[in-house]
Amino acid sequence: MALLPADFADLEPFTAWCLPSEKDRFAKRISSTMPELQAFYDAAFPRLQESEDYLKSVALDGISEEDRNLLWLFASLVTVSFPVEVWRQPRVPDSGASSIDVVVAPNP
């Protein structure tokens, strides 16, 4: 069964990234390998780039399940962009054992 809007069917292989919590998105990022992160980025980044108008047409009030999944998939892409675009590793450099945990987050 499709989880994403029909126009985004090409991203169905990456729906494991449709995660509503920032904690889960970050956890998946740091437990992934760089090739996995790169593959997700390479597939999803161009779609984000061309979807500004569509995403602006998606009102958060009464958002559909498919659009909500797409939103969380792109939110995962946002956190994945750091390892891919700058760090060249899943973790934040020089962050060692430090952690910052989300305690309140809006949904969406």
Partner 1 sequence: MPHFTKPAEGSWTEHFGLATEPVSYDDSISPEFYEAERDAIFRRTWLNVGRVEQLPRNGSYFTRELDAARTSVIIVRDMKGTVRAFHNICRHRGNKLVWEDYPREETSGVCRQFTCKYHGWRYDLEGALTFVQQESEFFDLDRNRFGLVPVTTDIWEGFIFVNFDPDAQPLRDYMGRLGAGLEGYPFHLMTQRHTYRAEIGANWKLFIDAFMEFYHAPVLHAKQATAEESRKLQGFGYEALAYDVDGPHSMISSWGGMSPPKDLSMVKPMERVLRSGLFGKWEGPDIGELPPGVNPSRSPSWGTDSFLFFPNFMLLVWKPNWYLTYHYWPTSYNTHIFETSLCFAPPTNAFERLQEELAVVTFKEYGLQDGNTLEATQTMIESRAVTEFPLCDQEVMLRHLHTTCRRYVAEHQAGHATPVRITAAS
Please state, as a whole number, how many other Cβ atoms lie within 10 Å of the Cβ of residue 30: 13
The mark string for 71-90 relative to partner 1 (x by CB under 8 A, - otherwise) is x--xx-xxx-xx--xxx---
Residue ranges in 1-20 that form contacts with partner 1 under rule CB under 8 A: none
Contacts of 86 (CB under 8 A, 6+ apart): none
User: Which amino acid is it at 98?
Assistant: S
Residue 13 CB, nearest approach to partner 1 (Å): 21
End-to-end CA distance of the chain: give it in Å, rounded: 23
Q: What is the contact surface with partner 1 in residues (CB under 8 A)?
A: 22, 26, 45, 48-49, 52, 55-61, 63, 67, 70-71, 74-75, 77-79, 81-82, 85-87, 92-106, 108
